[in-house]
């Protein structure tokens, strides 16, 4: 009997390689992971602690002149769980080291610039874990499906995005691109829940149903993204997202692997700890009453 855990490492099990077929993906599956939810949740918590440790290492690296950073790009249809990943996976690390940006419909100012302008402005600085909730990929997803620009314009963007990501990775950023893949039935259940619960109404947008009605066109646009932009420097990972516990476990694991790949160690310091401890012991703070504390 096999034991619960990653039978295949997450980056290997989830990577969209050549010939990857999104239509054939079972969105309730748990690629690479052999256990159930009862095994997955405690494992994710333990790996979340490891992630927090690695993120602190990255932050320390940045504070001492290091140039590396990590960028998590989250894509997925409405209700796929992007927000849950931010809350649960990114929520496990120190917020001071995170640069989070959500990309919605471009503002007037953003529309006046090239579509990568707002993306460049949001790239993580050295030492930071950047998180994009949606990204420049919307410029070949919603923009393509809704016909917001002529085909020749979005068609040229795949190569441009690849060149952009090559530049970003060359400057020291590891880019982890995650597409959360949900099934139509699970999306219907999640949209229904948003409609039935007043505390979820704020997340509901009537436009979500217009997007849902174009499901096949979005699948086709996602397949094109995977075919054309899953590169060696910035591969796509496709995470089945019907089981929230698995998606969170998988994204945690992908980030742990990305950070471990940096092979960072605690920055060297020129302090003399023994001498500093002696100085610490020598300092006497006067008590409010007058006598010095022992």
Q: x/- site string to Mg ion, residues 164 to 183, per CB under 5 A?
A: --------------------
For the chain, give the longest Cα–Cα distance: 81
**139 contacts ligand AMP (rule: CB under 6 A):** yes
From residue 29 to residue 68, what is the string marking binding to ligand AMP with x (rule CB under 6 A)? ----------------------------------------
**Which one among 16, 44, 59, 78 touches Mg ion, defined by CB under 5 A?**
78
Rounded to the nearest angstrom, the gap between the alpha carbon of residue 293 and the centroid of all alpha carbons in its chain is: 50
Strands 69-76 and 129-133, bridge-based pairing? parallel
Whole-angstrom distance, CA of residue 101 vs CA of residue 147 = 25
Residue 134 binding ligand AMP, by CB under 6 A = yes
Does 220 bind ligand AMP (CB under 6 A)? Our answer is: no
Neighbours of 98 (CB within 10 A): 18
Site for ligand AMP in 87-126 (CB under 6 A): 103-106
Is residue 142 a contact residue for ligand AMP (CB under 6 A)? yes
Return left, alpha or beta for 127; rule: phi > 0 is left, psi -120 to 50 is alpha, else beta: left
* Interface stretch with ligand AMP, choices 63-71, 86-94, 131-139, 231-239 (CB under 6 A): 131-139
Question: Is 139 near Mg ion (CB under 5 A)?
Answer: no
Tell whether residue 133 is a contact of Mg ion (CB under 5 A).
Answer: no
136-144, 178-186, 226-234, 241-249 -> range binding ligand AMP (CB under 6 A): 136-144
139 makes contact, choosing from ligand AMP, Mg ion, none, with CB < 5 to 8 Å by partner type, with ligand AMP
The partner in contact with residue 164, picked from Mg ion, ligand AMP, none with C-beta cut-offs of 5 to 8 angstroms by kind, is none
Q: What is the binding site for Mg ion (CB under 5 A)?
A: 78
Q: What is the binding site for ligand AMP (CB under 6 A)?
A: 78, 103-106, 134, 138-139, 142-143
């Amino acid at each position: 009997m096999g034991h619960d855990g990653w039978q295949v490492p997450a980056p290997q099990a989830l990577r969209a390689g050549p010939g990857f077929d999104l239509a054939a993906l079972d969105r309730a599956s748990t690629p690479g992971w052999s256990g159930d939810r009862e095994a997955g949740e405690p494992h994710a918590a333990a790996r979340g602690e490891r992630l927090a440790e690695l993120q602190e290492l990255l932050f320390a690296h940045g504070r001492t002149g290091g140039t590396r950073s990590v960028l998590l790009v989250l894509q997925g249809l409405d209700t796929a769980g992007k927000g849950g990943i931010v809350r649960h996976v990114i929520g496990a690390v120190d917020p001071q080291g995170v640069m989070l940006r959500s990309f919605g419909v471009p503002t007037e100012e953003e529309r006046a610039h090239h579509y990568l302008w707002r993306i460049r402005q949001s790239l993580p600085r050295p030492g930071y874990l950047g998180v994009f909730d949606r990204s420049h990929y919307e410029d070949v997803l919603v923009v393509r499906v809704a016909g917001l620009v002529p085909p020749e314009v979005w068609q040229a963007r795949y190569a441009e995005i690849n060149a952009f990501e090559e530049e970003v990775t060359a400057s020291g950023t590891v880019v982890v691109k995650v597409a959360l893949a949900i099934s139509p039935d699970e999306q219907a259940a999640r949209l229904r829940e948003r409609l039935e619960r007043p505390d979820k109404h704020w997340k509901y947008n009537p436009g979500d149903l217009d997007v849902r009605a174009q499901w096949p066109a979005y699948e086709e646009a996602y397949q094109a993204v995977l075919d054309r932009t899953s590169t060696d420097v910035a591969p796509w990972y496709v995470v089945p997202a019907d089981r929230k516990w698995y998606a969170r476990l998988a994204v945690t694991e992908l980030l742990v692997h990305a950070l471990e790949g940096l092979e960072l160690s605690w920055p060297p310091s020129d302090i003399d700890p023994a001498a500093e401890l002696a100085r610490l012991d020598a300092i006497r703070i006067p008590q409010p009453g007058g006598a010095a504390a022992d």
